[in-house]
Amino acid sequence: MQSHFAELIGVASAVASLYAAQSKTIIPLRAAAIAANLFAMMYSLMHGTYPTFVLNAVLLPLNAWRLHAMVKLIRDIDAAAKSDMNAEWLLPYTRPKNFKAGHILMKRDDYATAAFYIVSGEVEVVDIGQSFGHGTLLGEIGLFRPDGRRTMTVRCKTDVQTAVIDYDRFKELYFQNPQFGFRLLHLVVARLQIGGGEVAQPGVLA
């Protein structure tokens, strides 16, 4: 009886692993991987294969953390779209980059390859003569423009610290989880309804 139960656990682990391997999006992949880890740990204990148990014991919290991070990202985007549209939820997926005063951060008609979140300092949108500081998101609209070009020129008025997210990273997050892309598009449309252009503060597009 115990042997039969152990075999069922082994089959369940294999099925979960196969499902994870064919999953095209990150949330079902991680959920299936967690199930596979749990079943594999049970099977390993029943058969005394401790190296396999240790391997899955290490993979289990990693898969759980990745699943939590993606679910949190979706929740944060939802919260932003329903409230102040702040883009701080993007920060875990960005890289820091600093610019000196006078640097042209974005130039009108250049090809857009990344978006910028202003961590500190002040920038000026030359085309409209307005300045923006901490909390400003610049350039995410370019990801959705058919020609992929910037619509405004942005210059650093002071030394500026930014958090940069490349469009390739946006695309990676989208293909890992289509819900991210849907919610990001929802957020962008909400910004466009407020204003329009390449520059967005929390709740404001200039």
pLDDT score for 201: 46
pTM: 0.55
Torsion-angle region of residue 56: left (phi > 0), alpha (psi -120 to 50) or beta? alpha
Q: What whole-number distance in Å separates Cα of residue 138 and Cα of residue 162? A: 10
Q: pLDDT 10s digit of each residue in the chain, 206 long?
A: 556 666 677 677 777 676 666 666 677 778 888 888 888 888 888 888 888 889 889 999 998 888 887 777 777 666 655 554 456 677 777 899 999 999 999 998 898 888 898 999 999 989 888 888 888 888 877 777 788 888 889 999 999 999 998 888 877 777 766 666 666 676 666 656 544 444 444 433 33
User: Domain locations in the chain?
Assistant: 2-82, 88-205
Buried b / exposed e across 144-160, counting CB within 10 Å, b at 16+? eeeeeebbbbbbbeeeb
Residue 200 identity? A
pLDDT score for 20: 66
The single-letter DSSP state of residue 157 is S
SS3 content of the chain, % helix, strand, coil (to 5): 55, 20, 25
Q: Which of 94, 91, 58, 96 is nearest to 72 (CA)?
A: 91
Q: Which residues pair with 132 in a beta bridge?
A: 123
Q: Which residues pair with 96 in a beta bridge?
A: 163
The angle subtended at Cα 2 by Cα 46 and Cα 31, nearest 5°, is 55
At the fourth CATH level, the homologous superfamily of domain 88-205 is: Jelly Rolls (2.60.120.10)
